[in-house]
Amino acid sequence: FVTDLMNNFTIAFGHIVSNSFRPVPQRAIGVGSAFEGWSPRAKDLVYSVLVPLGPPPGHAFQLERSAAGPLPGRSCRIRVELECTCTGQQLPQNVLCFLHGSKEELGRAQELSLLHTLCTGSYLDVQKTTCWFYKLVTWAWPWVAQSRDWCFKVVPSRHTVKFQLTRGEDRLVLEVLPGVRCGLSDIFLSTQPAEPHLTLDTAWPECYAVAEAKFFQHVARRAPRDSVPFQCLQLLARILVGMGFSTLVLKTIVMHLLTTVPLSRWRRRHFPQRLEDVMGQLRRALQRRHLSHFIVGNRRVPAEISLPPDVQTAEPPNLFQHLAQDPAAHTKAMEEYLRLQDR
């Protein structure tokens, strides 16, 4: 249902942005736990999808690595450049060329160009793009076939577009994340920062959700039929609810183990041992105050997952950096771990 829904949204998006100078939404990609085969909740699933945004005709996106600053994690700025459309072979008819159009043609059109609507200076603005995409989703809903049977309600969300669909007693929550693909890779720039309270301007955080989803697909294709990595992850994630550890930490540990422990040793009979492995890795990571990011700088990532060269060779970020810098936070995390062992 979710796939069909988002395909219908993509068609509606295309009609709305055609003949405009807004980013072009492409086919949505399912990401997050609901699409990876596990869930931290028994009920109230949230289906997350990433919608890639391409440049409109006459525009190009150039990614520039941001210097280290107040934004945690890796980020880029997206420079919007104008391109000549005079000789475009696959462009719609009568597309205005911003570089060679007449003054009369450019007078009104320049105000509608991407540079004058969703950019700050020459760079695509995260907040402006998020607000525009929110409006796009609400405009598109009446054109989606499912709107005849389902009620649509927006759920407050600062950096994504989140909405709830209801039909009688049926309820579905979707979170839509706009993003820009880094070249031809599985890495995207998204509107969602590593820390939800941050306000973004033109620095777009790197998003690894698509690469992680592809990794779990890789595992599912190769694992024995009675393998339990997803059950292991799901059980521990549900135990962690209300504790001080994020599901990202647990997921990262399991992904690392899936590249070091052969898949033949993830069968049902190995379930207790694999649970012990995860807990042991968590304990050692807490003691060292260090947990390496799974995607960035990890040579064990399968080759079928396309990563930009700088992501492959970068120093892996430490997901426990805050524990290394804050002794009180580290003490609290160790106490939470001991509580977790007692469950």
Q: What is the pTM of this model?
A: 0.89
- Please give the pLDDT value at position 110: 56
Q: Tell me the C-alpha distance between 186 and 180, whole Å.
A: 10
Q: Tell me the C-alpha distance between 275 and 236, whole Å.
A: 8
What residues does 77 pair with on adjacent strands? 64
- Please give the pLDDT value at position 82: 84
* Strands 170-181 and 46-54, sheet pairing: parallel
- Domains of the chain and CATH, by start: 2-207 (3.30.460.90), 212-342 (1.10.1410)
54-73 CB burial, b ≥16 within 10 A, e <16 = ebbbbbebebeebeeeebee
Q: Tell me the C-alpha distance between 275 and 269, whole Å.
A: 12
Q: Tell me the C-alpha distance between 321 and 222, whole Å.
A: 33
Q: What tokens were used for 39? A: 């869930």
pLDDT tens per residue across all 343 residues of the chain: 889 999 999 999 999 998 788 999 999 999 998 899 888 776 778 899 999 999 988 889 999 987 654 444 788 899 999 888 776 555 555 666 766 655 555 556 556 678 888 999 999 999 999 999 999 999 999 999 999 999 999 988 888 899 999 999 889 999 999 999 999 999 999 988 766 555 568 889 999 999 999 999 999 999 998 999 999 999 988 887 777 788 899 999 999 999 999 999 999 999 999 999 999 999 999 999 999 999 999 999 999 999 999 899 988 999 999 999 999 999 999 988 888 777 6
- Please give the pLDDT value at position 70: 42
Radius of gyration, CA atoms only, the chain = 22
| Residue in 112, 154, 153, 159 with CA at minimum distance from that of residue 131 | 159
